[in-house]
Every structure is written in structure tokens, then in C-alpha cells.
Chain A
Amino acid sequence: MKVLIGIIATDEGERLFILNNGQPVLVKADGDNPERIYSNYSILKQHPSKINDEPMKGPGVFRFRYGPVTAGVREAGCFHLYTYGEKILRATIDISWKQREIGKAMQNMPPESALSMAERVCSNFAMSHSVAFSRAVEMSLNISPSLLTKNWRMLLIESERIYNHLYVIYKLASAAAQRVLAAHVSALFEDALRLNENITGSRYLMGINNIGKLNRTPAIANIQKIANGYGKLAEHFTELYKHSLTNYNYLDRLHSTGTLTPAQAGELGLTGPSLRACGVTDDMNDTTKHLISLPVITQKEGDALARMEVRAEEIVNSCQYLVNHLRASDSWYETEKKENEFTKADGKGYAVANSPSGALGYYVEVKDGKMQHVGIFTPSYPGMHAVSHMLEGLIFTDFPFVFDSFGVHFADAAC
């Protein structure tokens, strides 16, 4: 399976950043007629900050502006909803309110400083950004991180997945007025953030990863305790999730809301849980294949319920994965012998990480030990396109179920 996740303008011409069976590759765009091969090519090429921006006219149709300051969507972003009353006829999403031009700001910085900025593109995906960026720089400078570093990166990405998925389910339960479920999932969300802090000293897993190495390795003495913490979290969440599946008020709000077909997901270039919820088995888990690969969770329906179910099952899987690997992690420390020093100062590299919402890619060019060009390709950008299209034809009360179920963020989309 091939997915186009970004288009890069280089000195040698345009390059397509493609995920081929889970592995990132750069290919020349010239002569291949990429628009025919990749249906999301024009979206990524034009990269509009106003998504689906086609004003709509008709009897009684007006534009309802929602954002950038609203309690419903707390992030700085704006929706322009065209409607004649209850039904949303078109949804334009304006991501420009949060544009910080982080890729440009990284230019001329040393890789370590730019890494710290990558973590703050969207801090709830800090580990994924950090890992994708550091892998790209490592490729460009020909650095090979140790097994310990590689393994911890994998584990920490799963930690990130757990709290992000819990957050999405908490938002969905809140939107469906499931107060008890929302409160308990919110408590687990806080527990997951505390576990992150216990492992790395940061609730958002920031500042631990570096180019070619880890800034600090989690203390072996705490690891069994943390593994038990993830075991308990999985146990509590499973109990809660099973309980929620007997509640038809909750399920009815999610069922058949924002239904995405595999063809639509392919056209928009989606990856991650939103794609897997339409029954497509993506290959993102292959990025972890040097440890045991996680099973790929899929659902068939493609609606908000399917997206929630994929995330719920991934929480349990990731917890189990962490428990198993944390308990065996003391053997990795024996492999940590070398200090990675930069021997090269110039190069080009690209890499992806399996973020909680899909493939997250970086393309970097390093010259004289400083960043010359950084391209950031986030899962929230195609995700915002999907939200925009899925909202069409729905009623206003469906809005949070569509938006929250995709797990997209303005900070991530607008970087």
C-alpha cells in the first residue's frame, strides 16, 4: 500500500514523500503524472489553510462561524459552517489562526535546538514529532542509534498513543453526555500522564529523546512499578470499555456518524486509526518491527463508533506491549555502549513515526551542522480535510463526534 504524505521542493526538483508498505521513500515527481496516481496530490500541493473553502449559496443559507474563540473547540481554529438551520451543508475549516511557521523557524538552528521545537509543534504528539525528526537527522548525518534508544523510542510512542486515545474517548463520552464514563476515562487519562512523568520526568514525554541517543535513560529501579501501572490501567480501561458497549445512548450517538469509506480515506491520504476504522490494514506498525510488531486493529464501518473502537482496542494492546517490554527492558541496558557523536555535518534525510493519529513525517536538509530545510508532514492536515467532508449533511449535534473521533489538532495541522 502506497500513501502520499507530503510533497517536497528540493534543489533537484519536486519529490514525493511516500509511505510504501509502512516504509518512507522519496521519489521523483517528474513525468509520472502524480495526480493520477495519488488522489491527494493536489490537496498537498496547494496546501490551503482554508480547507474546503467554497462558499455556498441557496435559499436561506447562511454562514455560521464557530471559532477561533469558543469553549466547544478550545484550540485556536475556526469553522465556517454553511447551513439553513439544523443541517450542515458545508464546513470550511480555517487552520491559519494557529500558524506558527515552525519549519521555517528551525532553519539555521543546530539539530538539537530544532528537535526541541519539533517537540512543540503539537506537544501531545511530542514523542512522535521528536522521533520522526531525530530519525530524519540521523539518516542525513549517518548516525545509528543504539538498540536501547530505538527500543525506548518505540515504548514511549506507545505511551503517547495511550494517553491520546484516552483523551479522544473522554471527549466523545463528554459530547454524548456520558458523565460517569467521561469522568472515569478522564481519571485514566490523568493516570497515563502521571505514568509518563514517572518514566521520563515529563507528562508529555518531552526532553528525553535526542539525535542518536536519549538524554537520559529511565531508571531501572522504577520500571517494574511503571509496568504494573500500565497493567492496572489496561485492566480498568477494559472494564470501563466493556461497560460502555452496553450503553445504547452512547453507542447510538457514535454509530453511523461521520461514516468514511475506504475509497474516501484513500483519496484524502489518511493513515492511522481513521483509516483502520474503515477496514484498511495499514502498515504503520511495521515501524516497530525490530521489537515484536503490534497487532493491527481494524473495524469495518468507518464511522465515529468504529474509530472509537479502534482506539479503545489499541489502548489495551499498547498497555500490554508496554508491560511485556518494560519487564524485559533491563537486558537492553547492556547494549548501551557507544556515545553518538556527529561525524558528518551535511546531508539529507527523511523519516516517519507512527503517531496516535497516523503517519507523521519529516524531511530535513542539514548543511554545516545546521538545519537548512525542514518539511513537516502531520496526520492532522489530511484529518482536517476528512472532518470537513464528513460534516457535510450532518446536523449540528453530530459536530463533536465527527471532530473528536478523528483525533486531529490545529497545532499539528497548522505547523
Chain B
Amino acid sequence: MIRWWPLYGLKRKLTERKEYVSSVKLRLSTTAVFKRSLFVYVIDVGSSNALNFEISALEAPQYNIHRFGIYLTDSPRHADVLLILGHPVQAMMDPLKETISQLPRPFYTITIDDNPDFPDLGEYPALPNHIAAITGVPSPSEILGLLLDVAKIKRKRS
């Protein structure tokens, strides 16, 4: 017998109420234009995959990023922020430039480099509107804290 999913979904409250704080200092002053909503496009340019998993974890109900007006978008043309995962391998340099060229203005770029010490990968390229650079694998809480800083969104939402 088919069981009704919505009833299952209503049984547990999974969203957490906590303050999300990032230790990363923004490099540029931000505009308040993204205060109501922030659309983020994620591009992997050579990450070791933990960052892709952390972005999936960020979509978990515990964080419920939509309550803050933060959405992951499927196209760079709809994005306010380009979240760049990994240290770029040579093959991904052109796709990265092409993706940046597709972003509508104003936009910001954020980099998360999980392999800063890998030999043979070269220096990280200069990026336009590069508002924040993280090294290592930040937790979803830290990524959310940073996005809240970029959007200038008040932190506590029920």
C-alpha cells in the first residue's frame, strides 16, 4: 500500500536555529542589492570532491538555506555569486573564464581551494570581483555564514 509522503515529512522538524558565522573576512565592500535573495552558481574546477559533498550538505534541511533567501541556481546567467570549488586544473581555466563571462552584473566570485599545496597546479588565477578566498574544506555552517555576510542578511531566521 502506498504511504503518503507529506505525513512523513511533517513528523520531524529538522531545521536548526543557530547563528552561522564565518571567520573569512570579505575583501570588498558589498552592495545591499542581494539583501532579499542571493543566487549562487557552483562550479568545480578541480576539487577533490569533498567540496561538492559540502555543497550537497548545505542543501540539507538542517541548514534550510532558502529561509535566508539563498538559492543554488542551475545557470550562471541567474547567479549573483559564483562559488568556485577547488584549485583550477589547466583544462578548466577556459570553462571558468567562460562561466564568469556569463554572470550578470553585479556579481561576486568566491573561491574555495581545497588543494592549495598540490604541486604542478600553478598559482590561482586573478578573478574579477573576488570577494572571498577560503583554503581547505569549510563546513556548510562556515559557507552559509559567508554567504550571509555577502548578502548582508540578518542571521537569525526562524
Contact = CB atoms under 8 A, between A and B. Distances in A.
A162 B120 CA distance: 34
A246 B3 CA distance: 6
Contact of A181 (B2, B5, B48, B95): B5
B74 to A, nearest CB: 4
A167 B5 CA distance: 20
B114 interface: yes
Interface string A160-190: 0000000100100000001011011011011
| Interface size classification for chain A | 35 or more
B137 A203 contact: yes
A123 B56 contact: no
A341 B43 CA distance: 43
B115 A124 contact: no
Nearest to A109: B119
B50 A124 contact: yes
Contact of B56 (A76, A178, A186): A186
Nearest to A245: B3
Interface in A375-415: 409, 411-412
B89 A98 contact: yes
Interface stretch (B21-29, B57-65, B149-157): B57-65
A186 B60 contact: yes
B32 interface: no
A336 to B, nearest CB: 29
Contacts of A337: none
Interface string B123-155: 000000000000001011000000000000000
Contact of A186 (B52, B61, B76): B61
Interface string A106-150: 000000000001001111101000000000000000000000000
A164 B55 CA distance: 14
Contacts of A75: 44, 47, 49, 52
Contact of B2 (A76, A120, A204, A248): A248
Interface in B56-104: 56-57, 59-63, 72-76, 86, 89, 91-92, 95, 98-99
Contacts of A117: 118
Nearest to B90: A99
Contacts of A180: 5-6, 8-9
B46 A69 contact: no
A232 interface: no
A30 to B, nearest CB: 34
Interface string B14-58: 100000000000000000000000000111111111101111110
Contact of B92 (A97, A184, A186, A247): A97
B5 A204 contact: no
A190 B48 contact: no
A290 interface: no
Contacts of B3: 243, 246-247
Contacts of A411: 47-49
Nearest to A116: B117
Contacts of B12: 184
Contact of B60 (A72, A105, A189, A246): A189
Given A100-B89, A123-B48, A183 B57 contact: no
A69 B98 contact: yes
Contacts of A99: 89, 91
A261 interface: no
B50 A123 contact: yes
Contacts of B45: 76
Contacts of A97: 89, 91-92, 95
19 contacts: A68-B91, A69-B98, A76-B95, A98-B46, A100-B121, A120-B48, A123-B49, A178-B5, A183-B14, A184-B8, A184-B61, A186-B56, A186-B59, A186-B60, A187-B14, A190-B140, A204-B137, A247-B5, A248-B2
Given A186-B60, A246-B2, A411-B49, 15 more contacts: A68-B91, A68-B95, A74-B42, A74-B44, A75-B49, A99-B91, A100-B89, A100-B115, A178-B5, A180-B9, A190-B60, A190-B62, A203-B50, A204-B53, A247-B2
Q: A-B pairs with the 6 shortest C-beta distances?
A: A123-B50, A71-B74, A180-B9, A190-B60, A120-B48, A180-B5
Interface of B: 1-3, 5-6, 8-9, 12, 14, 41-50, 52-57, 59-63, 72-76, 86, 89, 91-92, 95, 98-99, 114-115, 118-121, 137, 139-140
Interface of A: 68-69, 71-72, 74-76, 96-102, 105, 117, 120-124, 126, 167, 170, 178, 180-181, 183-184, 186-187, 189-190, 193, 203-204, 206, 240, 243, 246-248, 409, 411-412
